[in-house]
Amino acid sequence: MADYTAPVREATRAFTRFSKELVDQLDVENGSFPWWHGHTDDRRLVLIADYLIQSTSGVADALLDAALCAADHREALYSDNAWFRSVGQAVHSANPSATSEDYLRAFQRGSHEERRERRAASGATHTLIHLVQALDRLAAVLVIVSGVSTEALKVGWPAIERLAVEPDNKGKLFTAPLPEGVDAQRALLAKSGTWSAHGSTDWLPWLLQSRHATAHRASTTSWNLTMVDARNRMTGMLHPFFAQPSRSEMHSLSAGPKSAGVGHSLRGLLVLEDSADVLDGLVVSTSDFVLDVIGGVEAMWQVRRDNPELVIQPGTQWKLETTDELHFTGFGRPARIQATDQLSVGPELSKRLSAAKIMDADRPGFWG
């Protein structure tokens, strides 16, 4: 079985390495990073610093999840197509003159086949979700490392694309005290526009629209198109994506090509490629793109470390006000937890907790 991590290995290693470097740079005594001290109040700096670490490692996690879901989708399709071929061959052997209706009756799914079909569809859906999840987490990294005045906890990838091209709002966004700092901020955000060099035409807009549609819009018809080899023998079923995911299904059908011929019309409506190949391509393109961006992030981080006054970390990146607390306790019975006065954690989490004053005897004094 192929290693599902291979397509994202280089990118995940880069983000994991940078996350570890950030942990190493934490100031355990005073919180956050030493060269941030004095930029804004300590509590905000602690929360911003830790969220940067979480977001950086979170990009790697999301890429791995996306790669696994894409692999699951491909494996489910492989099994499904093997079933289609087996059933089709049995029908043909029993009756070489079998009609389309005969094949359709034979292709009725049992519970096992229905579960496999849904598992393949779920793999496709979650590949899209995790890829955009990686981009949303990268958005937080870009905001924090660039030091622009935007709330880090709420930023998503579409906001980064807007920030990269929109003019500053009366100096409220790019608040670096030096012109060179503003130039560096703009240059880092501009890295978000390099996506076109890492895949086919419009791959990123299509990914973003597809994820948005699958997460927030009505479900669409699942197309099943028979695939054949050069001798017109069935090889399986194609389950294509819609070419214009921002449109509703009927809108896509009404706006599609009016040329005669079903095949020609479908090419304007659907992406007539193996869905597994499309997902694998999206995984590779996203991985290559974020790898390109993290290079700019690391360079900007080093520049800021060398010259802390170039960009001041803005307190506007984090709101200390808490929302109303929830009181959800779950649905089942409370779990029985072994009584202990110790919590075992790894060295990285231990350092994060110490730098955030969570383990500190003066925790109430720091957090209020």
pLDDT digits (tens, 9 = 90+) for 194-210: 999 999 999 999 999 99
182 occurs within a structural domain: yes
pLDDT, position 265: 67
327 occurs within a structural domain: no
CA pair distance 239, 270, nearest whole angstrom: 10
Same domain, yes or no: 291 and 252: no
> The tokens 């907790």 sit on which residue?
353
Same domain, yes or no: 171 and 261: no
CA pair distance 37, 31, nearest whole angstrom: 8
pLDDT, position 258: 56
Same domain, yes or no: 109 and 195: yes
249 occurs within a structural domain: yes
Count helices and strands in the chain by DSSP H and E runs = 12, 4
pLDDT, position 260: 45
List the alpha helices (DSSP H) in 7-156.
9-25, 42-94, 100-106, 111-146
Query: Among 21-25, 89-93, 298-302, 323-327, which stretch is predicted with the lowest mean pLDDT?
Result: 323-327
Same domain, yes or no: 113 and 47: yes
Domains in the chain, number:
2
Same domain, yes or no: 120 and 269: no
Mean pLDDT, residues 278-288: 99
Average pLDDT, the chain: 92
Q: What is the CA radius of gyration of the chain?
A: 26
Instruction: Give the pLDDT band of residue 366 (cuts 50, 70, 90).
Output: confident
Same domain, yes or no: 178 and 253: no
3 occurs within a structural domain: no
Quick: pLDDT tens for 300-313.
999 999 999 999 99
Query: Among 15-19, 137-141, 259-263, which stretch is predicted with the lowest mean pLDDT?
Result: 259-263
Same domain, yes or no: 76 and 148: yes
pLDDT, position 43: 95
333 occurs within a structural domain: no
Quick: pLDDT tens for 2-13.
899 999 999 999
Same domain, yes or no: 106 and 206: yes
Same domain, yes or no: 63 and 206: yes
Q: Residue 274 contacts by C-beta under 8 Å, 6 or more apart in sequence? A: 77, 238
The answer to whether 195 and 289 have CB atoms below 8 angstroms apart is yes
Query: Among 7-16, 219-228, 240-249, 289-298, which stretch is predicted with the lowest mean pLDDT?
Result: 219-228
Residue 41: how many other CB atoms lie within 10 Å: 11
CA pair distance 221, 235, nearest whole angstrom: 22
227 occurs within a structural domain: no
The answer to whether 286 and 208 have CB atoms below 8 angstroms apart is no
2 occurs within a structural domain: no
State the residue range of the domain holding 194. Answer: 12-219+280-320+343-367
The answer to whether 72 and 115 have CB atoms below 8 angstroms apart is no
Same domain, yes or no: 96 and 61: yes
CA pair distance 298, 320, nearest whole angstrom: 28
The CA-based angle 319-325-329, given to 5 degrees, is: 140
Comparing C-alpha atoms, which of 202, 201, 213 is closest to residue 247? 213
The answer to whether 283 and 207 have CB atoms below 8 angstroms apart is no
26 pLDDT more than 90: yes
> The tokens 């029908």 sit on which residue?
91
Scored b (16 or more CB within 10 A) or e, 268-285 reads: ebbbeebbbebbbbbbbb
Mean pLDDT, residues 316-327: 88
334 occurs within a structural domain: no
Same domain, yes or no: 95 and 144: yes
Residue 261: how many other CB atoms lie within 10 Å: 9
Same domain, yes or no: 62 and 145: yes
